Amino acid sequence: MNIEGDLGFGPVETEIFHFKESWTLWKTGQGYELEGYRTYESPRNELHDNRFVARLSPDLRLLSIKEFAHLVFRRDSGPLSCELLPAQLRCDSGAKDPAQNVDAQFAMDRPYALIWPLSAFSSAGLTRAATELDKATPIQIVQLEQISYALPVLAIRSDGLIRYRGQSQEVFSASGRSFQPNVYELTTSPTGKMTIWISPEGLLLAAEKSSWPKGKMELVNFKKFAEF
């Protein structure tokens, strides 16, 4: 499956351009495993090119993610791994030297999504918190920032709201397949107001900001070999 788009979050240095992500998802006894590859520019003209793996719940919520990249201020690092626990976000830098390792823990008190730099499954999983039509549910968006050697990983948490807007009357198509998506509205300071379209199975089909043209990502290629 392939996701593509441009999304600007926060200041210029955190904006994401020419984002492309491809991944393979397979079912396990505990949920799903995912292996993927992503490229993007952040800031513009600074290329990132990384492999990643993830673990998902049976309803496709992101449980853990590992990105094969180094921290800026700790070269003895990578892959960087994060666990998205219900009340805690925990990240480990994967250093070979124990003295250089970073084990960062951040308390969480509401449903949250992780932008690192971007995750279709983390954003899609956040919609599980909105179950009643048009009711605003408090959530948080978490951005990982690399500040200095002393603060190699810092979680910036931003409060927001998510609302379920009902089932779309428009059909979403990708690779000859058609979906009747559920529609959600996310509002936070990093993303602004964003509309999210989710397939009945829980896949992110599209996410769009009002500040088009640099505010959209969408599923462009999809092949399914078995039912979810």
| Number of domains making up the chain | 1
CA distances from 88 to 70, 109, 158 (A): 23, 8, 15
Predicted local confidence at residue 6, as pLDDT: 55
On the question of pLDDT at 211 being above 90, the answer is no
Mean pLDDT of the chain: 85
Assigned domain for 125 exists: yes
Assigned domain for 225 exists: no
Query: Residue 10: pLDDT band by 50, 70, 90 thresholds?
Result: very low
By residue range, what is the domain housing residue 85?
A: 2-161
Assigned domain for 177 exists: no
| pTM for the full predicted model | 0.85
Of the listed ranges 100-104, 126-130, 163-167, the least confidently predicted one is 100-104
Assigned domain for 171 exists: no
Phi and psi dihedrals of 30, rounded to 5? -105, -5
Predicted local confidence at residue 52, as pLDDT: 92
CA distances from 138 to 57, 130, 135, 158, 224 (A): 22, 9, 10, 11, 33
Predicted local confidence at residue 120, as pLDDT: 84
Assigned domain for 100 exists: yes
| Residue 11: Cβ-neighbour burial (10 angstroms; 0-12, 13-18, 19+) | exposed
Assigned domain for 179 exists: no
On the question of pLDDT at 116 being above 60, the answer is yes
Assigned domain for 53 exists: yes
On the question of pLDDT at 213 being above 80, the answer is no
Phi-psi region of 175 (alpha: psi -120 to 50; beta: other; left: phi over 0): left
Assigned domain for 133 exists: yes
Q: What does the pLDDT look like over 54-86, one tens digit per residue?
A: 999 999 999 999 988 888 888 888 888 999 999
- Name, in order, each residue with C-beta under 8 angstroms of 10's C-beta and a sequence gap of 6 or more: 143, 189, 190
On the question of pLDDT at 12 being above 50, the answer is no
